[in-house]
Amino acid sequence: MANWIPLWLHKLGSPPIFYRFAGLLRPWMLAFAVLLGAVALYGGLVLAPPDYQQSDAYRIIFIHVPSAWMSLFIYGVMAIASFIALVWRIKLAEVVAMESAPIGAAFTFITLVTGSLWGKPMWGTWWTWDARLTSELVLLFLYLGVIGLYHSFEDRRQGARAAAFLAIIGIINVPIVHFSVNWWNTLHQGSTIRILGPSKMSGDMLWPLLTMMAATKFYYLASLFGRARVDLLAMESGKDWVRKIAEDEAAP
């Protein structure tokens, strides 16, 4: 009776069914992302009052922090999917892991760029060798390594499995890097900058931030579904269901 959940999950793992499922959900996810994003932007850019310390410059927080959060969250999803892909050899898990990597890299890149655009007026420098910034940079390299390794194999599934292994090594590495850079900073006694802005945020600033976080989550799902669909088509290009799609789309 309670059997339908594993059964449903099992069915979802089959490429044609996931393809249709993702195709149905994707527009909704995108709509949620755009709607929530618009609300968050209005709240953050227009409604929220200027900060008493940073005046209007703090408004970068509404994209910077959600992006930073997503960069870590997507790495976590990628590592979990990689683990599933390696242990149970589920094709869909490989696709999810490998198609998460470019999205995660995009968010990491956004985090680094918006962070330095925020850092320049606030700390007077584009870049500082702080533990968080350095870890984020290392995260970008990890993403790029996973993407590069995936694409360097001729066989896609083999590449996915190798890159999944690298992703798992990487997730062990991130906390180590964070810890070691922290230690390194105490050794060098460099310019100590407080990264965390106001420790207590007023509600006017908090709700756009949380809304934006939800919007980025939905965006990730929408983008992941789109990418996974393309990847499944490419992987299964010999199968009948893909041929049917190819022929149907040629009609108009």
Partner 1 sequence: MSSFFAMGGYAAYIWPAYAVFFIVLIADFIAPSLRRRRNLRELRSRLARQTARQDRVTRTPPASS
Partner 2 sequence: MSQPSLASACTAVLRRDLTLAWRRRGDIAMPVLYALIVTTLFPFALGPEDALLQRIAGGVVLVTVLLAMLLALDAMFRSDIEDGSLEQLVLAPQPLALMLGMKILAHWLGTALPLMVAAPLLAGMLHLPTAVMPVLLLALLLATPLLSLLGAVLVALTAGTRRSGMLLALMLLPLCVPVVIFAAGAVAAAQQGLPWLAPIAWLGAALALALVLAPLACAAALRIALDA
List residues binding partner 1 (CB under 8 A): 45-46, 50, 55-57, 59-60, 63-64, 67, 102-103, 106, 109-110, 113-114, 117-118, 120-121, 219, 222-223, 226-227, 229-230, 233-234, 237, 242-243, 245-247, 249-250
Contacts of residues 80-85 at CB distance under 8 Å and 24 or more positions apart, as own/partner, are 81/164, 82/163, 82/164, 82/165, 82/167, 82/168, 83/164, 83/168, 85/160, 85/161, 85/164
By a kind-dependent CB cut-off of 5 to 8 A, residue 184 interacts, out of partner 1, partner 2, none, with: partner 2
At 61, which amino acid appears? I
Contacts of residues 222-227 at CB distance under 8 Å and 24 or more positions apart, as own/partner, are 222/26, 222/29, 222/30, 222/33, 223/103, 224/96, 224/99, 224/100, 224/103, 225/22, 225/23, 225/25, 225/26, 225/29, 226/22, 226/26, 227/99, 227/102, 227/103
Which of 60/86 has CB closer to partner 1?
60
Q: Least distance in Å: CB of 48 to partner 1?
A: 12
Q: Least distance in Å: CB of 182 to partner 1?
A: 26
Nearest CA-CA partner of 149 in 78, 80, 224, 226 = 78
Q: Least distance in Å: CB of 15 to partner 1?
A: 14
Which of 188/194 has CB closer to partner 2?
188
By a kind-dependent CB cut-off of 5 to 8 A, residue 213 interacts, out of partner 2, partner 1, none, with: none
Q: Least distance in Å: CB of 241 to partner 1?
A: 12
HSE at residue 175, side-chain half, CA atoms within 13 A, is 4
User: What is the number of other CB atoms lying within 10 angstroms of the CB of residue 214?
Assistant: 16
**Residue 155 interacting with partner 2 (CB under 8 A):** yes
Residues 69-88 that bind partner 2 (CB under 8 A): 86
H helices within 47-155, ranges in order? 61-88, 91-123, 131-152
Residues 130-149 that bind partner 2 (CB under 8 A): 134, 138, 141-142, 144-145, 148-149
Q: Least distance in Å: CB of 194 to partner 1?
A: 19
Chain positions contacting partner 2, by CB under 8 A: 86, 134, 138, 141-142, 144-145, 148-149, 152-155, 158-159, 161-162, 165-166, 169-170, 173, 176-177, 179-181, 183-184, 187
